[in-house]
Amino acid sequence: MKEFRIQKLFNWQIGSERLIRKYVADLYQTGVTAPVATVLANNTDVAFTYDYIGTGTYMVTSSKPLFTGPNGQKVQATITNATYIDNIAGPIGQSITIFPVFDNVMIILTTDLTTATDAILGNNTQNAIEITIYP
Amino acid sequence: MENQTLLEALVAKLGAEKGQIAYDKIMAIKGSAVKKEK
């Protein structure tokens, strides 16, 4: 007698589960210009735009409100490889922080571990912004 | 970067009220980072 295994390969086969939605984009920034985002995945139905504010300070604006409070609710925003150390003996590197300031605005701060600095995002390592929206 | 320049840039992008709020939040995070270094 033959056995048949049914594997779930696609999300549409799990009709009762609500999707976790995700936006992922590689970021690259240099000079005094806004970060350039190369979108790797986006099933959020939300568009994101980037602005240069000042040295090491950038703004991410979403086309729909994501954060209902200053700490955010059911939305997680992270940047991969946010901390990078080039030389452990005499550390030089980077730190990247992202946090919401309004329901549709986030701020990204970048430093060289000492002071606010441009040309951090995507310059030393791959830095992907990941915004996950939980149901 | 001088704080005043950052505030002016935020005000230009977000308007006076939101710009000030965003500026205060940025400074709060920068302030906490400085405290951790001590």
Tell me: pLDDT of B34 over 70: no
Considering the entire predicted model, what is its pTM? 0.82
Answer for the pair B22, A102: CB distance below 8 angstroms, yes or no: yes
Q: For chain B, say whether A107 makes contact (Cβ under 8 Å).
A: yes
Do A102 and B10 count as a contact with CB atoms less than 8 A apart? no
Per-residue pLDDT band for B3 (boundaries 50, 70, 90) equals: confident
Where are the domains positioned within chain B? 3-37
Q: Which residue of A has its CA nearest to B9?
A: A53
Q: Which residue of B has its CA nearest to A117?
A: B1
Using CB atoms and an 8 Å cut-off, which of residues 73-92 of chain A contact chain B?
none
Residues in a beta bridge with A76: A132
Q: What pLDDT, on the 0 to 100 scale, is given for residue B38?
A: 41
Q: Which two tokens stand for residue A9?
A: 């390969």
Give the C-alpha distances (Å, rounded to integers) separating B38 from B26, B34, B35. Answer: 19, 7, 5
ipTM over 0.90: no
Q: What pLDDT, on the 0 to 100 scale, is given for residue A92?
A: 79
Residue from the list B6, B10, B29 with its beta carbon closest to the beta carbon of A97: B29
Q: What pLDDT, on the 0 to 100 scale, is given for residue B37?
A: 46
Q: What is the pLDDT along chain A (135 residues), one digit of tens a residue?
A: 666 666 666 666 666 667 889 999 999 999 999 999 999 999 999 999 999 999 999 999 999 888 765 455 689 999 999 988 887 777 678 999 999 998 899 999 999 988 899 999 999 899 999 999 987
